[in-house]
Amino acid sequence: MSVAKELLVRPGSKVSLKKVDAGGTPGISSREAAAAELADIVTELRQLQYRLYAENRRAVLVVLQAMDAAGKDGLVRSVFSGLNPQGCRVTPFKAPSAEELDHDFLWRIHKAVPPKGEIGVFNRSHYEDVLIVRVHKLVDKSVWKGRYEQIRLFEKLLADNGVTVVKFFLHISRKEQTERLLARLENPERNWKFSEADLEERKYWGDYQEAYEEALSQCSVSEAPWYVIPADRKWYRDWAVAKILLQTMRDMKLKFPAPLADVKALRRKLQALS
């Protein structure tokens, strides 16, 4: 079984994160093997990115969601820094601004969807509006419940218009999160990433797990699948996401467009001008 099939949230299935080993490494035997393969994967992703740009008919949207310290930023550095930055845009979504709050919750998201020929990476996303707003009771239950269908329709709209959507939940254990947060406190160069708010959020661990389980169950569909990525081992997290993204882009059958003119005739004219 491929790693994509093993980590896929099958449409219509009910997710239980307790049953997913956050420290597991399905599909690869060792850190060394993953590192060697990751380099080759990124090289091929760069080649496919060039085809995507040349074709200029479709786009790719990668959605990253996770509990704090699961490693979204680290994954972006490991997997996407090897791509051409002209055609790969990373958009972080933080607390909405006053202007964004004056619009529907998908307004700021739709503006950031990658155009044809590009890869877009969302560091957090529209799913915050069925996660944090649910956990902290920022809107009524009837509001966030209704958003599952709105999200499914939004992602179908994107897919119908040439955007390939692939979504990754980086699944970290509470024990591993504790160790990573402590490491931030002990490293002067990473102290700035930790705040009292991070401690407060840990009180809601169980609530967030339930919110993620429902979001993953409700919104993994064939045109915009969710994958649950074991993230306690950083090397596995990066390899698994890159591997699945590679397969996703291979399946797109990207092709270079036909030349706009007769190449042989252009060659003769160029030679004549030399």
Domains contained in the chain, number: 1
The range of the structural domain enclosing residue 79 comes to 3-273
Q: How far apart are CA 87 and CA 119, in angstroms?
A: 6
Question: Cβ–Cβ contacts within 10 Å for residue 214, how many?
Answer: 17
Here the CATH number for the domain that contains residue 44 is 3.40.50.300
Structure tokens at 128: 């915050």
Beta bridge partners of 122: 63, 91
State whether the Cα torsion 122-123-126-131 is positive or negative.
positive
Q: How far apart are CA 27 and CA 34, in angstroms?
A: 10
Whether the Cβ atoms of residue 222 and residue 143 lie closer than 8 Å to each other: no
Whether the Cβ atoms of residue 65 and residue 212 lie closer than 8 Å to each other: yes
Q: What is the pLDDT along the chain (274 residues), one digit of tens a residue?
A: 799 999 999 999 999 999 999 999 999 989 999 999 999 999 999 999 999 999 999 999 999 999 999 999 999 999 999 999 999 999 999 999 999 999 999 999 999 999 999 999 999 999 999 999 999 999 999 999 999 999 999 999 999 999 999 999 999 999 999 999 999 888 888 777 777 777 888 999 999 999 999 999 999 999 999 999 999 999 999 999 999 999 999 999 999 998 777 778 778 887 888 7
Q: How far apart are CA 246 and CA 119, in angstroms?
A: 12
pTM for the whole thing?
Answer: 0.94
Pick from 110, 54, 65, 64: which is nearest to 87 by CA? 54
